[in-house]
Amino acid sequence: MSKSKKRKKSGFVVGVDLGGTNITVGVVDRSHRVVAMAKRKTKASIGLEGVIERIVETIDRACESAGVTRLQLDGIGIGAPSAIDFDEGVVINAGNLGWKHVPLRTILQKRLELPIVVENDVNAAIWGEAKLGAAKSWNDVLAVWVGTGIGGGFVLGGEIYRGAFHTAGEIGQMILFPRCGVGRRTLEEHCSRLAMVRAMETIAGFYPQSKIRSALAARSDDGAIGSSVIAECYEAGDELVVRVVDDSAELLGLALANAVTLLSVEAIVIGGGVTEALGKRYLSRVRESFEWHVFPSTLKKCHLVASELGDSAGVLGAALLVG
């Protein structure tokens, strides 16, 4: 690391949003502006070394688009879909990637010879929103990102809250149905994109006219269909899709109500690919369920807003953590 310590600061940092489906990389300047981005599939099935290689390649692509070299960077921040030992830079358990106790910071520092910061992906996203986006007005915020899976994070008292065991915010693992079998118990197992697709598959036979059936028959390589396809059918009023999405939104609102009942935060920011694709109608259903279930009724004042930064939230938040 001595080379990086002697390097003159350029003002450019890289933020990496590592998801179960996609790797998104942005080069960010000293004004917190994303000057170039690159994106590619994660392909978790190729294993740790393969995903690391894809991260590095995507960083290089973003740098090339920005007109900077990797050696000019001041550092790299990366948000990973797992509880993170922030001090050690260790990915504790990333189910979507199949990683357990992976020393990601050490691996990337050896490979890239740059300062590396590793954070939970939703913590990074809410940090971006807190500093530059939808959560700028509040000090106590819950973030929930709905995508391939469901992740959460907190900013409390104006700082990221990780908890004593590094796992604060794991709302996707909240158990909704304890008597159900494995794979049908948690919020993530009912409300993520993968869960929605599974539900559509299960009841598709009752909806022979549903347009989603053709998409289910022609899968992408991650075994599911994209949020944009679900959103198109949802907006068109496809009965199968509306049933599944609205049920999912109701359960998400219930989970958010439980979290706010417990913590009394000022606001909830909802982001992720599913949220961005489904838009206001989906958020309205979530809000309706939230208000029905939250206690006491004064907590209906809690703001529920969509991410303003979209795909850039995790990238910007991770970059901001580099310092």
259-309 residue pLDDT tens: 999 999 999 999 999 999 999 999 999 999 999 999 999 999 999 999 999
Q: Where does the pLDDT of residue 138 fall: very low under 50, low under 70, confident under 90, or very high at 90 and above?
A: very high
pLDDT for 218 beyond 80 = no
Phi, psi of 118 (to 5 degrees): -115, 130
Confidence of residue 181 (pLDDT cuts 50, 70, 90): confident
Summarize pLDDT for 81-112 with one digit per residue, the tens. 999 999 999 999 998 899 999 999 999 999 99
Q: Is pLDDT above 70 for 219? A: no
Region 106-119: mean pLDDT is 96
CB 305 within 8 A of CB 268: yes
Contact partners, residue 118, CB within 8 Å, separation at least 6: 77, 78, 80, 84, 86, 89, 90, 91, 104, 105
DSSP 8-state assignment for residue 71: G
Nearest Cα to Cα of residue 102 among 125, 77, 85, 115: 85
Tell whether the model's pLDDT for residue 1 goes beyond 60: no
The pLDDT of residue 224: 66
The CATH number assigned to the domain with range 2-128+312-322 reads: 3.30.420.40
Residue ranges matching CATH 3.30.420.40 in the chain: 2-128+312-322, 135-306
DSSP 236-260: TT-HHHHHHHHHHHHHHHHHHHHHH
If you average pLDDT over residues 130-155, what whole number do you get? Answer: 95
More confident call, 246 vs 95: 246
Q: Tell me: pLDDT of 4 over 50.
A: no
pTM, whole model, 2 decimals?
0.90
Level-2 CATH architecture, domain 135-306: 2-Layer Sandwich (3.30)
Q: What percent of the chain has pLDDT over 70?
A: 96
pLDDT band at 142 (very low <50, low <70, confident <90, very high): very high
Rounded distance, CA 137 to CA 130, Å? Answer: 8
State the alpha helices, DSSP H only, in 113-226.
Answer: 121-132, 188-191, 193-203, 212-217
Q: Is the pLDDT of residue 230 over 90?
A: yes
Q: pLDDT at position 220, please?
A: 53
pLDDT of the residue at 221: 53
Q: What is the pLDDT of residues 17-33, one digit of tens each?
A: 998 889 999 999 999 99
Q: What is the model's pLDDT at position 3?
A: 47
pLDDT given for residue 2 in this prediction: 44
The DSSP output letter for 178 is T
pLDDT at 9: 73
